[in-house]
Structure 1
């Protein structure tokens, strides 16, 4: 990877006593402000440890941050239109569903709902997060050097349409870093840590959907895992909903509980434990392991045909698959959905190379390129939640094993992004702080509410930043692979 021209916002060479003091203060702040997760090594419902974090915020070019924030509403519009385009979804996923059992089960629900007359609820709530990384390749591949600049630009890693987490931990990281930089003696830096209202914005989206449902006694349902390790991120959403709208209650249920105790009324209202559900916010349901039996699949179908407003609906869930992301990168597709040239160009500008592995001439060529140059690519299945991708030299034997089967249609190839490296202290529970080379991934939050024909609300609401060791492939904080971070804005055009 190319080393960065960006510098840490605070000098890292400090006396051990000062470093120890800052780290201990930061840990205490995190523990006392709910910047926490449940332990995975020894589960105790009542025990939390602080979420891994980096000690100081990470420097990022102000221009690129501002661009990504402004772009989110365009991406919201794009995904809303994609989710409601039956022909595009069906065509895009036709090969994938032949070999990817999980996507096929989701698509079966989608098809069944269509055959039964379409969704009972016309409104959809998309709570989205666009994940991006700075890419050093911009310096050579996109004409920057010809213009006399060395500049990193954002490239999209993925766009999440289900369980888009860290609406609390993203803003909380900024609060933590505001405290730390002051304790380190740099209060002047506060102006460069941008405000982050993701929690208020996402909670507001759920309240807006609840009000559109227009049943005062109804509840908002959080669909959760049997054991939720990232519990603080979810619970702070509940607390914020209560703060903004004291008259609405939030309940938490698993797919199994809905399957066992949920029922539909004659007019398709979803009732569980005697309560009518207005809005379903899915923090679960994105991985095959979360559907251990047919009961859970029946629950997903029951939710889908109910009158409740879903985040995501089944068509929104399918719109977030990697295959759809790859299809959107094809020539002429963005124009179909956005029309406006400025919007189309701005979205295409963040796309990195995305390639099909379908059993055709194009797929064969892409597969051969990946076999010959595996270090240039990431191999992605249709999965969320982290830990599913194949990288570098592992790609070649993986593709060798599936190149003559239809299984390859379940994957896409993406150009590997080469982000700038910056040093920071990684702080993890039970470990000494480690000064390390790190890379970061930015997530921009947005939401959109509407029907197939009309968008009622479309907003960008905040951001989050995850940082990982530069040599580590995956970076999910909840999966134990990354660390919380926040953005420190710098005015520069030289970062690679």
Structure 2
């Protein structure tokens, strides 16, 4: 079966000058409504530029879109159960922590607080499950994000923009094909709900952010501003791990104290990659946070549950039976999984490496990293596997069947676009479905699906991270 081409939402047949006018208007609309980020090239606090976006919404099959939304609560529950299953986490990550220092440090924190006894048994998850449309017909999961799931603050606005631009182009009826999206409200309500469960009206919410420049500033701030709208009494504080080390302490009852403020909820928008932990002080600060009775988003066990290796372990035949008795639930989850393979130092791992070296175009090689720009493709897979084949390093990677997404034409609008570079391009789209879950080992207190985001990229590009510079913001235009 070959890739399926999807028809664009509308046929855009404008003269060059008219098209440029539409693009200029689109850029102004998105910039004035907050679809913006700080520029890595010319960072100044008072300056932003547009987040790259598609001029038009991208077509997406309604049936598959609804499948992704309908399964999200089940996936939330699965990851919650995984996070609170010590034996499964330990067995899944054992080989990785011997080969990957970053995962080993996270696991060391998890083991420490687990042996001491968790001061806070409640976890908050703001999750996102990402899918590509295999052969343009059926969604397959790319990954599941349990930390710093980005663009929930901008996703509703890009949907609003696409409604605006369709009406501007004379396609008012087609606006009905763009689904409603309330991700900012959903995530912010989850944070407020966790704050309420902490049961201290004087306590604050702490956003742990990047040290130095926060490029994706609008996405983060929209959550902060929405929290203020929902509950004006809640104080939100933004600090990096570096800045926290001099002002964070534990109170007599394991309260997390930031100077004079008690912290009810810690929301990690940074800390998902090794670059955040440049010294032992950052690791010590993370450990102190995990030892506290603040509710963490994510908790250390939620963070580990989002590891690529755990995703691969869940795809092993029979693995889901550990978490669900209902065969219908198991089948629903398995239907969105794609092939995931271990590279452990055993006969199965060796067979997987041998196959991937010979058929490298059919796979993606993925490390235990988040944020885009880390995966390997094509001949790079072969070269990397030949390099690490005889070392423990290989166990820090997983192999995934390469998904062949459907393509369509669209215009990618970037900050540097000019009349000379303005052209229609072949793109592929990745659907993200957001979920919120709150619970402890014995009870799930809150579980819902709260919206979506679509990110698109040139069909010729492998990686898709927007902040990493590969993808653009988009929204789905639902088709039969």
- TM-score, L = length of structure 1: 0.95
Alignment of 1:443-482 (within 5 A): 443-482=432-471
Match of 1:58 in 2: 58
Match of 1:395 in 2: 381
Separation (CA, whole Å) in 2 of partners of 1:89 and 1:323: 10
Match of 2:123 in 1: 124
Gaps of 5+ in 2: none
Check the 8 A contact 2:3/2:404 in 1, yes or no. no
Match of 2:185 in 1: 200
In the TM superposition, what whole-angstrom CA distance separates every residue of 1:449-495 from its partner, at most 9, and x where no partner exists? 0110100000000000100000101111111111010000001xxxx
Match of 1:135 in 2: 134
Alignment of 1:337-416 (within 5 A): 337-416=323-402
Structure 1 residue 23 and structure 2 residue 8: aligned?
no
Match of 2:93 in 1: 93
Question: What secondary structure is seen at the aligned counterpart in 2 of 1:63?
Answer: helix
Structure 1 residue 329 and structure 2 residue 296: aligned?
no
Check the 8 A contact 1:12/1:424 in 2, yes or no. no
Match of 1:216 in 2: 201
Separation (CA, whole Å) in 2 of partners of 1:270 and 1:27: 43
In the TM superposition, what whole-angstrom CA distance separates every residue of 1:8-32 from its partner, at most 9, and x where no partner exists? 0111332112211211111011111
Separation (CA, whole Å) in 2 of partners of 1:418 and 1:467: 14
Question: What secondary structure is seen at the aligned counterpart in 1 of 2:272?
Answer: coil
Separation (CA, whole Å) in 2 of partners of 1:313 and 1:259: 19
Question: What secondary structure is seen at the aligned counterpart in 1 of 2:159?
Answer: helix
Separation (CA, whole Å) in 1 of partners of 2:423 and 2:145: 31
Separation (CA, whole Å) in 1 of partners of 2:31 and 2:259: 34
What's the offset of the Cα at 1:402?
0.3
2:300 counterpart (296, 301, 314): 314
Question: What secondary structure is seen at the aligned counterpart in 2 of 1:201?
Answer: helix
What's the offset of the Cα at 1:400?
0.4
Structure 1 residue 110 and structure 2 residue 110: aligned?
yes
Match of 1:176 in 2: 161
2:256 counterpart (265, 270, 274): 270
Alignment of 1:279-298 (within 5 A): 279-298=265-284
In the TM superposition, what whole-angstrom CA distance separates every residue of 1:346-404 from its partner, at most 9, and x where no partner exists? 00000000000000000000000000000000000111111111111111111100001
What's the offset of the Cα at 1:2?
4.1
Question: What secondary structure is seen at the aligned counterpart in 2 of 1:89?
Answer: helix
Question: What secondary structure is seen at the aligned counterpart in 2 of 1:459?
Answer: strand
What's the offset of the Cα at 1:74?
0.2
Question: What secondary structure is seen at the aligned counterpart in 2 of 1:281?
Answer: strand
2:147 counterpart (155, 158, 162): 162
What's the offset of the Cα at 1:3?
4.5
In the TM superposition, what whole-angstrom CA distance separates every residue of 1:190-242 from its partner, at most 9, and x where no partner exists? 11000001110000000000000000010011000021000000000001111
In the TM superposition, what whole-angstrom CA distance separates every residue of 1:136-183 from its partner, at most 9, and x where no partner exists? 1xxxxxxxxxxxxxx710000000000001111111110111111111
Check the 8 A contact 1:2/1:420 in 2, yes or no. no
Gaps of 5+ in 1: 137-150, 492-496
Separation (CA, whole Å) in 1 of partners of 2:145 and 2:366: 14
Distance 1:3 1:18, change over 3 A: farther
- TM-score, L = length of structure 2: 0.98
Separation (CA, whole Å) in 2 of partners of 1:4 and 1:92: 36
Match of 1:148 in 2: none
Separation (CA, whole Å) in 2 of partners of 1:4 and 1:178: 26
